[in-house]
């Protein structure tokens, strides 16, 4: 006689002593048997859970490695303990319940479903731990794996779901899978975003297009901020106004997205801004202006070199320097441009290994745009804006030194000009007024 038969005989003896009239064929006996199975499973589970908290958690917290702490935080050990009552139910059911009855099949299926759920949650904990360990490594800065972890969880969920259905209907999982293929069109419609997100995740990972922490801009969705999470179906972006934007993952590959990672990894952040110069303030430099400009340290060598170049040109071409029509002269805007170029090349916050340029853009109704093009070594937002503001503070303050004016549309001047506009009826009386004024003058 094996252990299961001995246990069954012992259980029958105890039930017969307590309830002499109850037989194994009675419904009350089956209720008692099921209650005994579940109570035994609970009684065994409780002390194991207590021992786990007393010893396993302390042991894990004492170790220096981080992977066991991650497993503990994601509930791996806590979920694994649930396999004990599931196994107890599975092992005690054939002992206490007759195997030819309906109740036996129901309890066995419940225990198997319990074990499947515990196994799935345990796998989830392992996958989440792998994600945390990967995110803590340097590889996370190159390729995020959150989407792949979610795909793995989805695959295991589908597998466990198929196994659970096969257990309930007592059919081969392959038979169920063959029936699911007939619903492929419906599944494609249901999992459309999931499939597109998975394909986009592969493209993002393979081409290293985006990663957590990247600053992106998507004009269509008014997104401007850092990527917080790239998931299977959604991407979370924290905008600079502290709002959170949630986008479909495939939008990163289907839409026009500006990624500022290249700027962050480069040697500087670009400054590209123009100030409009009033055309009426541009003039040729006379001797007094050149004498004044030459006292500026950054322009001394430039003016000396230019004057020498012009003197040689006039001598070669036999042109009198007082001949304004044929001679060459320096201009205040050209000298100002040379000053700004020298100013930028000596600025401590400008990367001199990258492009540094002061150029004129085509004139327009606002004047001549004088654009500064350079790269600041400060790339964070606040510091960058401070450097850019300091540069243009200096640019605008130096305009008056070079006898230049910045174009500015003054609203009070526009109103004044509008008030001076004469109504149409006054034009008819202008000849008479003119004749009266002329008579009065005489």
Q: Do the Cβ atoms of 87 and 93 come closer than 8 Å? A: no
Q: What is the pLDDT of residues 158-187, one digit of tens each?
A: 888 888 888 888 877 777 666 666 566 666
Provide the pLDDT for residue 427.
39
- Which of helix, strand or coil describes residue 119? helix
Segment among 68-77, 161-170, 416-425 with least mean pLDDT: 416-425
Directed axis angle between helix 332-345 and helix 381-398, to 10°? 150
Task: Provide the pLDDT confidence category of residue 223 given band limits of 50, 70 and 90.
Answer: very high
Q: Of 122, 118, 112, nearest to 169 (Cα)?
A: 112
Task: Provide the pLDDT confidence category of residue 67 given band limits of 50, 70 and 90.
Answer: confident
Please determine, for residue 432, whether its predicted confidence score (pLDDT) is greater than 60.
no
- Which of helix, strand or coil describes residue 379? coil
Please determine, for residue 365, whether its predicted confidence score (pLDDT) is greater than 50.
yes
Please determine, for residue 290, whether its predicted confidence score (pLDDT) is greater than 80.
yes
Torsion of CA 113, 118, 121, 123, to 10 degrees: -100
Please determine, for residue 14, whether its predicted confidence score (pLDDT) is greater than 90.
no
Q: Do the Cβ atoms of 210 and 204 come closer than 8 Å? A: yes
Provide the pLDDT for residue 418.
56
Task: Provide the pLDDT confidence category of residue 95 given band limits of 50, 70 and 90.
Answer: confident
**Residue predicted with more confidence, 85 or 437:** 85
Residues 6+ apart with CB under 8 A from 45: 81, 82, 84, 85, 88
DSSP H or E segment with residue 21: none
Mean pLDDT of 69-88: 85
Distance CA 54, CA 154 (A): 34
Provide the pLDDT for residue 433.
37
Which whole-number Å values give the CA distances from 45 to 38, 81, 317, in the listed order?
A: 10, 8, 106
Distance CA 396, CA 235 (A): 43
Distance CA 132, CA 45 (A): 29
């Amino acid at each position: 006689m094996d252990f299961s038969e001995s246990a069954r005989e012992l259980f029958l003896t105890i039930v017969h002593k307590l309830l002499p009239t109850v037989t194994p064929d009675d419904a009350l006996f089956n209720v008692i048997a099921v209650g005994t199975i579940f109570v035994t499973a609970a009684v065994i589970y409780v002390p194991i859970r207590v021992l786990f908290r007393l010893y396993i958690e302390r042991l894990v917290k004492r170790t220096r490695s981080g992977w066991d702490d991650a497993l503990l935080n994601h509930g791996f050990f806590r979920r694994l303990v649930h396999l004990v009552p599931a196994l107890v139910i599975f092992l005690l059911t054939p002992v206490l319940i007759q195997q030819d009855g309906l109740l036996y099949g129901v309890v066995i299926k419940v225990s198997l479903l319990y074990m499947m759920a515990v196994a799935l949650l345990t796998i989830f904990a392992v996958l989440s731990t792998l994600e945390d360990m990967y995110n803590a490594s340097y590889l996370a800065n190159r390729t995020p794996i959150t989407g792949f972890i979610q795909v793995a969880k989805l695959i295991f969920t589908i597998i466990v779901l198929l196994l659970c259905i096969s257990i309930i209907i007592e059919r081969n999982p392959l038979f169920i899978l063959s029936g699911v293929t007939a619903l492929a069109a419906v599944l494609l419609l249901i999992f459309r975003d999931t499939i597109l997100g998975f394909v986009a995740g592969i493209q993002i990972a393979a081409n290293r297009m985006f990663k957590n922490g990247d600053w992106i801009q998507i004009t269509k969705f008014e997104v401007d901020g850092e990527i917080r999470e790239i998931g299977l179906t959604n991407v979370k972006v924290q905008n600079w106004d502290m709002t959170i934007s949630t986008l479909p993952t495939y939008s990163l590959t289907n839409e026009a997205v500006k990624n500022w990672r290249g700027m962050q990894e480069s040697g500087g952040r670009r400054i590209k801004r123009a100030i409009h110069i009033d055309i009426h303030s541009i003039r040729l430099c006379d001797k007094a202006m050149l004498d004044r400009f030459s006292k500026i340290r950054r322009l001394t060598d430039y003016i000396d070199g230019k004057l020498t170049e012009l003197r040689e040109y006039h001598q070669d071409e036999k042109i009198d320097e007082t001949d304004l029509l044929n001679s060459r002269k320096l201009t205040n805007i050209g000298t100002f441009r040379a000053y700004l170029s020298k100013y930028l090349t000596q600025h401590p916050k400008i990367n001199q290994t990258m492009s540094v340029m002061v150029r004129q853009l085509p004139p327009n109704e606002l004047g001549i745009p004088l654009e500064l093009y350079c790269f600041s070594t400060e790339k964070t937002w606040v510091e960058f804006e401070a450097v850019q503001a300091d540069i243009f503070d200096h640019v605008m303050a130096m305009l008056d030194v070079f006898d230049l004016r910045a174009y500015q549309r003054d609203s009070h001047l526009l109103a004044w000009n509008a008030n001076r506009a004469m109504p149409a009826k006054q034009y008819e009386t202008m000849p008479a007024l003119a004749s009266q004024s002329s008579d009065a003058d005489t």
